[in-house]
Amino acid sequence: MPAEAAVHAPDDLVEYYFEQAWSDGLPVVPPTPAKIGAVVDALGGDPDYPEAVIPPRRGTLTREVLAINMVLAGCKPEYAPVVRAAVLALCTKQWNLNGVQATTHMAAPLLVVNGPVRNAIGMNAGHNVFGSGNRANATIGRAIRLILLTVGGGTPGDLDKSTLGHPGKYTYCIAENEELSPWAPYHVEHGYAPGDSTVFVIAAEPPHSVVNHVANDAQGVLDSIVSAMSTYAHNNAVAGGSCAVVIGPEHAATIAASGWSRLDVRSYLWMNAGNTWDEISFGDRYAGGGKVYNKALPKWYKREPGARIPIVEKPDDIHLFVAGGAAGRFSAFIPGWGRMTSPVLRKIDGAAPPAGAVCVDGTCAL
Amino acid sequence: MSGRVYDPRGVVRAEHRDVAPRVASPAGLRLGILDNTKWNGRRVLERTAELIAEQAPFAAVTRYAKASFSVDAEDELIARIAAENDIALIGIGD
């Protein structure tokens, strides 16, 4: 079914899309048959092919509708495989897009792209990686958000009940800086070949900056990240789940010079970041004379005064990336939504995942 | 300018279903309470059931819980609640 509204195009299409609320609040690029056709071709043709159903509205995302949203966002056709892989990752059951769309929490999908596609489409993995200035980063993330708004019905206050939201709900898409990383790329750590391209998607809070200009070893740099992680204000503290840590290239070089691997980093952060049970239970002050339990946290946590409560259940729940510019001693901690969602890593182009990983239909549960 | 405008929303394919008819009174009926496991969900639901029961006592009250507050109740759980009760009470309690 052609996704064309039965109206004649007005003179000012940008204003028309604003009036229909088919926008994220910023001007959109008016779609034309030629632009839509180029994206549909990049997706493999067949414009009516249903790629996904987007909750909570449960609109059908055909290739043509995907193309419309990509054009509205300002994407080039060559971004299509990345956007499609990200959408399919978001729509896997364990990602729980329905919950992320509707929650009062501020979570937004954070995309991290790995592999040769980053450079092929000109993504930014360097300076200002979370900021503005790069078309691929900006419009891939924006296309995802437009799809969640229009097809998914995530209109603020209607089906999107987020109390605050965050700026990543305009666009939240980066690439790993594989060239400046002292370690194997994230997707290689997770079983893919360096020549594969992947997209990782996690429901995430905004990045929290971690500064450390003094430490000249792994422990010192990581202790600053531990400090950022060890609060009970973010969702991981009270609802577990997964989080992301983005190490800036200078910090990564310092850590690697101490001989530490990715697993060493994740394990150290897991071992040392956390709160006490007293902190997250408020000492039972609000338990009405009873005791707090907190069903969102793993059964095996000791719910006793003084017991340590880690930020996430295990080191594998800390997703580690190297990104950012060559200069500057900064990293970032990015809390997730909680155990109500699991991040998903998906290979771009739909080819079968490598043997050995626990994957279904190209999507790997982490 | 002539031509048509592309609608970005996609089509919703769904069957229409009517909601169940309202009961005249809950008195003497079997009540199922589905706790969504939110922080205050059970408190809100239990107190609501108490207040209703003061006016119209139930024949039985049975409690159920979702696996997680943020995911749909499983089909099997919904079928069980429907089979074992006449009416059901749900709510969020954030």
Determine whether the interchain pair B8/A11 forms a contact, defined as Cβ–Cβ distance below 8 Å. Answer: no
Residues A222, A211: Cα–Cα separation, whole Å:
11
State the amino acid at position A331 in one-letter form.
Answer: S
- pLDDT for residue B67: 83
The pair of structure tokens assigned to A25 is: 């609040």
Query: Which residues of chain B does A70 touch, with a Cβ-Cβ cutoff of 8 Å?
Result: none
pLDDT along chain A (366 residues), means of 10: 61 94 97 97 97 97 98 98 97 95 97 98 98 98 98 96 98 98 97 96 98 98 98 96 98 98 98 97 93 91 96 97 98 96 91 44 46
Determine whether the interchain pair A8/B7 forms a contact, defined as Cβ–Cβ distance below 8 Å. Answer: no
Residue A261 to residues A183, A184, A200, A325, B81, Cα–Cα distance (Å): 7, 9, 21, 21, 51
Torsion A94-A100-A104-A109 (CA) sign? positive
Please give, one letter per residue, the 3-state secondary structure of B22-81.
CCCCCCCCEEEEEECCCCCHHHHHHHHHHHHHHHCCCCEEEEEECCCCCCCCCHHHHHHH
Instruction: State the nearest Cα–Cα gap between A358 and chain B, in angstroms.
Output: 23
- Cα nearest neighbour of A340 on chain B: B70
Nearest to A296 by CA among A237, A357, A232, A228: A237
Determine whether the interchain pair B10/A36 forms a contact, defined as Cβ–Cβ distance below 8 Å. Answer: no
Residues A114, A75: Cα–Cα separation, whole Å:
18
Q: Mutation target for A interface from B4, B5, B11: give the one with most A CBs within 10 A.
A: B5
Determine whether the interchain pair B71/A5 forms a contact, defined as Cβ–Cβ distance below 8 Å. Answer: no
- pLDDT for residue A7: 59
Torsion B19-B25-B26-B30 (CA) sign? negative
Determine whether the interchain pair B13/A103 forms a contact, defined as Cβ–Cβ distance below 8 Å. Answer: no
Query: Which residues of chain B does A65 touch, with a Cβ-Cβ cutoff of 8 Å?
Result: 8-10
SS3 call for A344: strand
Determine whether the interchain pair B7/A57 forms a contact, defined as Cβ–Cβ distance below 8 Å. Answer: no
CB–CB of A170/A110 below 8 Å? Answer: no
- Cα nearest neighbour of A16 on chain B: B5
| pLDDT surpassing 60 at residue B21 | yes
Of A61, A62, A96, the CB nearest to B71: A96
CB–CB of A311/A237 below 8 Å? Answer: yes
Of B4, B11, B70, the CB nearest to A9: B4
- pLDDT for residue A352: 41
Average pLDDT over residues B52-66: 95
Chains A, B: CB pairs < 8 Å: 84
Of B7, B12, B69, the CB nearest to A5: B7
- pLDDT for residue A357: 42
Determine whether the interchain pair B68/A339 forms a contact, defined as Cβ–Cβ distance below 8 Å. Answer: yes
State the amino acid at position A94 in one-letter form.
Answer: Q
Determine whether the interchain pair B10/A8 forms a contact, defined as Cβ–Cβ distance below 8 Å. Answer: no
- pLDDT for residue A364: 46
SS3 call for A8: strand
In the beta sheet, which residues pair with residue A5? B5
| pLDDT surpassing 50 at residue B78 | yes
Determine whether the interchain pair A4/B71 forms a contact, defined as Cβ–Cβ distance below 8 Å. Answer: no
Q: Mutation target for B interface from A58, A72, A339, A342: give the one with most B CBs within 10 A.
A: A58
- pLDDT for residue B2: 56
Chain A contact residues (CB < 8 Å to B):
1, 3-11, 13, 16, 22, 31, 36, 54, 57-62, 65, 68-69, 72, 96, 98-99, 103-104, 146, 150-151, 295, 339-341
The pair of structure tokens assigned to A120 is: 């092929």
Of A3, A10, A58, the CB nearest to B12: A58
| Confidence (pTM) | 0.91
Determine whether the interchain pair A99/B12 forms a contact, defined as Cβ–Cβ distance below 8 Å. Answer: no
